[in-house]
Structure 1
Amino acid sequence: MSAATTQETVQTQGPRTPKVFRARTKGAGLGLVAWLAGLLFFLPIAWMALTSFHSEEDAATNPPSVAASLTLDGYREFFGSGGGASPWPSLINSLVASTASTLLVLVLALPAAYALSIRPVKKWTDVLFFFLSTKMLPVVAGLLPIYLFAKNTDFLDNIWLLVILYTSMNLPIAVWMMQSFLSEVPVAIIEAAQIDGARLPTILTRVVAPIALPGIAATSLICFIFSWNELLFARVLTGVVAQTAPVFLTGFITSQGLFLAKVCAASLVISLPVLAAGFAAQDKLVQGLSLGAVK
């Protein structure tokens, strides 16, 4: 290679080096910001977990005692070893209400999303807006009518009332999400199934559902989290029989005595099902949300 060619190559590649350096620096900076944001969101959870293993006296110190001795007293109190109420009925009620309402939401939202995406009805955007507009009503505005209805129909302190309420609350957002997911399903596959004689239930369960499984998983997880964390309706409409886990958690907050470590222990235990579900479905959750966002 001649000297002129070498000089030309260096002159050609030279200006690219600062651009590559700036791109790598920008990528490293964004990575650092992402790690800092992740730590910022994780720090309260880690602090809650650490506080749950402290005694009430150490948890109530100001500033907090980080190096205090660890104990399981908060968890023993939560599980009723000190003579308190057992949390298992409340946890089972939350599991039943969240799981049953999520299944009902999927059964109702899948055909609705199919009609709005793959076989769109007229003015389907107006239909979606109507679904979403139902979420604009403040929850407290409908609390009194629902309470009076439950009281007159003897539905107070009934877990199935919560199932119906959670289903109606999560159905609009589920239809909105799944319509976006199902719009990515190839219509040719559905037409081929129809040519083979498949009816609508078969198409939904054996053709559409497997393809849209990441979106269905993302929708299910979000509906489950919303149902599990709901407090207002559960607090007002339940008593002892249908009490859910968030309502049981509020019983540890008193006007007298120390309760911080016990509340942190209870909060961590109650959060575990949601964290476990999110960790188990994290790949499908990310895939589903990305599928609904990318067109």
Structure 2
Amino acid sequence: MAFWRRNTTFVQGIERSDAIRTIVAWGVALVVSFPFLYLATSGFKTEVEAPKMPPAFVPVPSSVASVPLTYTPTLENYKLILTGDFMPYFANSATAALVSTLLVLLLAIPAAYALTQPQTSGKRDVLFFLISTRFLPAVGVIIPIFLATRFLGLLDNVLALIILYTAMNLPIAVWMLRSFFQDLPKDVLEAARMDGAGTTQELILIALPMIKNGVLATAFLAIVFAWNEFLLALTLTTTKGATVPLYMISFMSAQGLWYAKMSAAGTLAALPVVILGWLGQKWLVRGLSMGAVK
């Protein structure tokens, strides 16, 4: 009987600790997601309701809108943005982010794999050179970048952003993929070499399938960095090649700051990345945690 009581107490203690962890996890999740929740709800408000403090989060019909912390939802802001000139900006962002990410992977995968091979000399120097390109803030080199872009006739062109985003994300991608390649079991690669596999076959048929989660995680980060980039797009584009971040600042004018419309635009801008991260969270977690546990 005493043994049964001790066992019951132990099980109850585990269940209680699991419940506490769950509550804490949900609390942290709500705190982290609060800015996006505030942004999303503000997009459904009028310009009068959006800047009010404390903010209202509960949508209700207009008949009970006087209840505290409630608001009457409206789709006018989203209609205005979607029927306006938002889609060209969105298309430019999508093109620059996706094409540059594809180029990053095409260049980073063979480079990272080569930097894990014992016969490659000067690996430390190459890795240091790659990461050193990230030491200087973009604003420190924006003038020569602008002059070079103007000389090449690429001002206000998405192609300029694709080239620069590729160069911006390439060092990080090489470092990440190299760490994934280093964690591969050496026995498998040696067995492939003994079976007559060349370096290209070894990379494509054996190494890449084993680190596919790491490749997806790298691609996701490259897309996010390119999607959110602002300074280069602001300096090198005006209308034809402008991206979503530039569309966002169009709501800041001398007449005031249009909170509701900016919130709706911000929600639409963040939604693709949020959906992409939600759909691929399983592979992202696996990829970013590769090699963490031996």
Whether TM exceeds 0.5 here: the answer is yes
The 5 A counterparts of 1:3-82 are: 28-65=19-56, 66-80=69-83
Give the residue type in structure 2 aligned to 1:137.
Answer: L
Give the residue type in structure 1 aligned to 2:40.
Answer: A
Residue 117, structure 1, aligned to residue 108, structure 2: no
| Partner Cα distance (1:31, 1:204) in 2 | 42
| Partner Cα distance (1:268, 1:98) in 2 | 18
| Partner Cα distance (1:40, 1:212) in 2 | 33
The 5 A counterparts of 1:241-280 are: 241-257=240-256, 259-280=258-279
Instruction: Tell me the CA shift for residue 24 of structure 1.
Output: 6.1
More divergent stretch after superposition (246-255 vs 218-227)? 246-255
The 5 A counterparts of 1:112-151 are: 112-119=111-118, 121-122=120-121, 124-151=123-150
| Partner Cα distance (1:210, 1:63) in 2 | 51
TM norm structure 2: 0.86
Instruction: Tell me the CA shift for residue 189 of structure 1.
Output: 2.9
Instruction: Tell me the CA shift for residue 188 of structure 1.
Output: 3.1
Instruction: Tell me the CA shift for residue 68 of structure 1.
Output: 1.6
More divergent stretch after superposition (122-131 vs 166-175)? 122-131
| Partner Cα distance (2:148, 2:114) in 1 | 32
Name the larger-Rg structure.
1
Coordinate RMSD, CA, aligned: 2.5
> Are the structure 2 counterparts of residues 144 and 189 from structure 1 closer, same or farther at C-alpha, using a change threshold of 3 Å?
same
> Are the structure 2 counterparts of residues 144 and 280 from structure 1 closer, same or farther at C-alpha, using a change threshold of 3 Å?
same
Taking only the aligned residue pairs, the percentage that are identical comes to 39
In structure 1, the gaps of 5 or more residues are 1-5
On the 8 A contact 2:216/2:284 being kept in 1, the answer is yes
Residue 285, structure 1, aligned to residue 276, structure 2: no
| Partner Cα distance (1:131, 1:28) in 2 | 46
> Are the structure 2 counterparts of residues 291 and 247 from structure 1 closer, same or farther at C-alpha, using a change threshold of 3 Å?
same
Instruction: Tell me the CA shift for residue 60 of structure 1.
Output: 2.8
| Partner Cα distance (2:241, 2:200) in 1 | 34
On the 8 A contact 2:92/2:241 being kept in 1, the answer is yes
On the 8 A contact 1:91/1:244 being kept in 2, the answer is yes
| Partner Cα distance (2:119, 2:290) in 1 | 19
Instruction: Tell me the CA shift for residue 182 of structure 1.
Output: 1.1
| Partner Cα distance (2:208, 2:121) in 1 | 24
Aligned to 2:166, the other structure's residue is in SS state helix
Instruction: Tell me the CA shift for residue 209 of structure 1.
Output: 1.2
> Are the structure 2 counterparts of residues 197 and 105 from structure 1 closer, same or farther at C-alpha, using a change threshold of 3 Å?
same
On the 8 A contact 1:90/1:243 being kept in 2, the answer is yes
> Are the structure 2 counterparts of residues 64 and 147 from structure 1 closer, same or farther at C-alpha, using a change threshold of 3 Å?
same
On the 8 A contact 1:118/1:187 being kept in 2, the answer is no
Q: Deviations over 1:46-83 (max 9, x none)?
A: 12111111111111334434412110011012123xxx
TM norm structure 1: 0.86
| Partner Cα distance (1:37, 1:120) in 2 | 47
